[in-house]
Homo-oligomer: A and B are copies of this chain.
Amino acid sequence: MGKILIFGHKNPDTDSITSSIVLANLERALGKDAEACRLGKINKETEYVLNYLGIEAPRLLEDVEDGQEVMLVDHASNKESIDNLENSTILKIVDHHKVALNTAYPLYYRAEPVGCTETILYKLYQENGVEIDKKIATLMLSAIISDTLLFKSPTCTKEDVEIANQLAQIAGIDCNTYGLEMLKAGTDLSEFSIEEILNLDAKEIDLKSVKSIIAQVNTASIDDVMKMKMDLEAGMQKTISEKGLDLFMLLITDIVNSNSQTIALGKRVDLVEKTYGVTLENNTALLKGVVSRKKQVVPVLTENA
């Protein structure tokens, strides 16, 4: 069947890109023919990491051939994966998200409710006795810092922190200095169109029967992003019409102060108000302490939907 293709989710973030590279490296060390791929454009934060290491981005994958063997990292969801995923054979999943996938066959599935896929991959390296070199350690560490917003997200576990510290030693990196630089690189929106900003980290999610997109943008200044509010709203409204959404929720997340300003549109914005006990004024509200879509948004909205 040839090479096993390994990829993370659409709209790839640093975890999806680095985990593909890191798992491909592990599989090759174990004698498999594996290649890291990606399902979308590299974001600014990930670009910072790849440039720091002088590594090229994985190959962009548009679709997979029938029967192609694949491994998924950082997602376990048809919606967030390659369009014709059902034609492929999934050999392995390494993930830290909810389960939203059905297969007709058993596979290797390793998920843990930790902050980052790399935390699990670190353990797989250990279990298989495969060495983690400086480059791999830097990739892993970057993703942990990214997913946990420098350990401040409620998704961050003790294990993420412990493993990040181990990795920082191997990589010879100071987490705070490197991490802040990296996160700030990711907040640079200057080159993006409104449409691109809304798509940087957007997830299509059915909250029970409520057809939704929940998008997130990290920033060091909420005010700066809110200057684009009118344009963002127009873009969101366009997507709502095109995709027949019930809800489009944008989270503008302040990575320094750990809050999110939300802009919410669609006929089910009541779900946002009810869930967070806020009143949307001009379609927006501050959600204090909310930084994690996975932990502080999706499950509570689903419960109230």
Which residues in A have some Cβ–Cβ distance to B below 8 Å? 76, 95-113, 127, 294, 298-299, 302-303
Contacts and interface: CB of A to CB of B under 8 A. Distances in A.
A111 B108 contact: yes
Contact of A110 (B104, B110, B299): B110
A293 to B, nearest CB: 12
14 contacts: A95-B109, A98-B106, A99-B101, A99-B102, A99-B103, A99-B107, A100-B102, A100-B103, A105-B113, A108-B111, A108-B112, A109-B110, A110-B111, A127-B127
A102 B127 CA distance: 28
Contact of A113 (B76, B99, B107, B127): B107
Nearest to A108: B112
A299 B104 contact: yes
B104 A98 contact: yes
A244 B109 CA distance: 33
B108 A98 contact: no
Q: Specify which of A97, A113, A294 lies most central, judged by the most chain B CB atoms within 10 Å of its CB.
A: A113
A130 to B, nearest CB: 16
A1 to B, nearest CB: 16
Contacts of A111: 106-110
A106 to B, nearest CB: 4
A259 to B, nearest CB: 22
The complex is assembled from copies of this chain, and their number is 2
Contacts of A95: 106, 109
A107 B100 CA distance: 12
Contacts of A97: 106
A100 B111 CA distance: 15
Nearest to A110: B110
B104 A302 contact: yes
Contacts of A298: 104-105
A104 B214 CA distance: 14
A147 B180 CA distance: 52
A102 B78 CA distance: 11
Contacts of A76: 99
A96 B104 contact: no
Contacts of A108: 111-113
Contact of A109 (B102, B106, B109): B109
A69 to B, nearest CB: 13
A211 to B, nearest CB: 15
A145 to B, nearest CB: 19
A164 B3 CA distance: 32
B113 A106 contact: yes
Nearest to A208: B104
B303 A104 contact: yes
A108 B106 CA distance: 17
A103 to B, nearest CB: 5
Contacts of A109: 95, 99, 109-112
A96 B106 CA distance: 6
